């Protein structure tokens, strides 16, 4: 295993060095790429993840125990879809003379997906409640 680990680490360091040298030598990259690299790291680790952890704590506080897992799962899916959809919904890439670019109403599409996620979660909750309904207690003699 030691050899495999050394080979992986060695190949990785070579590849990272190649990336650094290549980016420095490429006039198309400039400092902007480094700025973006640091920017996305900070945006994720210092803004997005604390928010996610905070919302998770709030769910632990306010959502009934039996619904917690479903709500967390549904929120996770909602967040992932939102990250992909936001640049499409904002539509900054549209061009007046090219209707084939971003041809759909992405806001409506995203709302449709949200609907599908939360209706499925509600159905799953209902199904679970039905399965776990208290058995009818026989009347005491």
Partner 1 sequence: MVRDLAAGIVGLARRGHAWLNTPLPPPPATLRRGPLRRGAFESRLRSPRLTSLLGSALAVAFTVCFVTGLISHFIQHPPSWFVWPSRPVNLYRVTQGVHVATGLASVPLLGAKLWSVYPRLFGWPPVRNLAHMIERASIAALVAAALFQLISGILNIARWYAPMPFFFTAGHYWSAWLAIGALLTHIGVKLPIIRTALTRPTPDRVIDGGLTRRGLLGAAGAAAGIITLATAGQTIAPLAPVSVLAPRRPRSGPQNVPVNKTAGDAGVRNALFDPAYRLTVAGPARTVRLALTDLAALPQHTVALPISCVEGWSSIGTWTGVRLRDLVVLAGADPDDAEAYVESLEARGRYRATTVPPTHVRDPYTLIAMRLGGEPLHPDHGYPARLIAPNRPGVLQTKWVSRITARSAP
What residues from 8 to 67 belong to the interface with partner 1 (CB under 8 A)?
8-9, 11-20, 22-23, 26, 28-33, 35-38, 40-41, 44-45, 49, 52-53, 56-57, 60, 65-66
> What is the nearest approach in angstroms of partner 1 to the Cβ of residue 140?
31
**Residue 113, interface with partner 1 (CB under 8 A)?**
yes
> What is the nearest approach in angstroms of partner 1 to the Cβ of residue 127?
15
Buried b / exposed e over 49-80, threshold 16 CB at 10 Å, is eeeeeeeeeeeeeeeeeebeebbeebbebbee
| Cβ contact 59:71 at 8 Å | yes
Q: Which CA distances in Å does 21 have to 14, 15, 24, 39? A: 11, 10, 5, 21
Please name every residue paired with 95 in a beta bridge, in sequence order, or none if there are none: 98
By CB under 8 A, the residues from 119 to 138 that bind partner 1 are none
> What is the nearest approach in angstroms of partner 1 to the Cβ of residue 126?
17
> CB 91: neighbour CB atoms within 10 A?
13
Residue with smaller CB distance to partner 1, 37 or 126:
37
Residue with smaller CB distance to partner 1, 15 or 127:
15
């Amino acid at each position: 295993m030691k050899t495999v680990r050394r080979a992986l680490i060695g190949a990785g360091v070579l590849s990272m060095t190649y990336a650094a040298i290549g980016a420095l030598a490429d006039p198309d990259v400039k400092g902007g790429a480094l700025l973006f690299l640091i920017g996305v790291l900070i945006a994720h680790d210092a803004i997005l993840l604390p928010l996610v952890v905070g919302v998770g704590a709030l769910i632990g506080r306010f959502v009934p125990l039996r619904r917690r897992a479903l709500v967390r799962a549904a929120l996770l899916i909602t967040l992932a879809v939102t990250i992909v959809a936001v640049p499409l919904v904002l539509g900054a890439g549209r061009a007046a003379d090219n209707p084939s670019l971003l041809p759909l109403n992405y806001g409506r599409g995203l709302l449709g997906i949200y609907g599908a996620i939360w209706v499925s979660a509600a159905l799953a909750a209902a199904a679970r409640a039905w399965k776990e309904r208290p058995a009818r207690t026989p009347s005491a003699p």
